[in-house]
Amino acid sequence: METITEQLEQEIKLLHAHVCEGLGDPKRVLILYLLATRPRNVTELAEALDIPQPTAS
């Protein structure tokens, strides 16, 4: 039987894998950096990254 600690460890590992998968595209990481400096709307993000607006959203 798994202990609570083992269950939490497994959940953290799964969450980490999902986060890393989501940030696998360099544009996604750049979006995070842009948003860290100040709030931006999707149009601003698209223009800053030279990508279509639907891609940025």
pLDDT tens readout for residues 36-52: 999 999 999 999 999 99
pTM, two decimals, is: 0.65
Domain extent at residue 46 = 25-57
**Quick check: is 12 in a domain?**
no
Which three-class secondary structure state does DSSP give residue 1? coil
Distance in angstroms (rounded) separating the CA atoms of residues 20 and 50: 23
- Are 23 and 35 in contact, with CB atoms under 8 Å apart? no
Q: Does the residue 49 lie in any domain?
A: yes
Instruction: Classify residue 5: in a domain, yes or no.
Output: no
Distance, in Å, from the CA atom of 13 to the CA atom of 32, rounded to the nearest integer, reads: 22
DSSP state of 57: -
Please report whether residue 3 resides in a domain: no
Residue 50 lies in a domain: yes
Q: How many folded domains does the chain comprise?
A: 1
**Higher pLDDT residue, 1 or 23?**
23
Look at residue 18 and tell me if it is in a domain.
no
- Give the single-character DSSP code of 9: H
Query: Looking at the domain assignment, is residue 34 inside a domain?
Result: yes
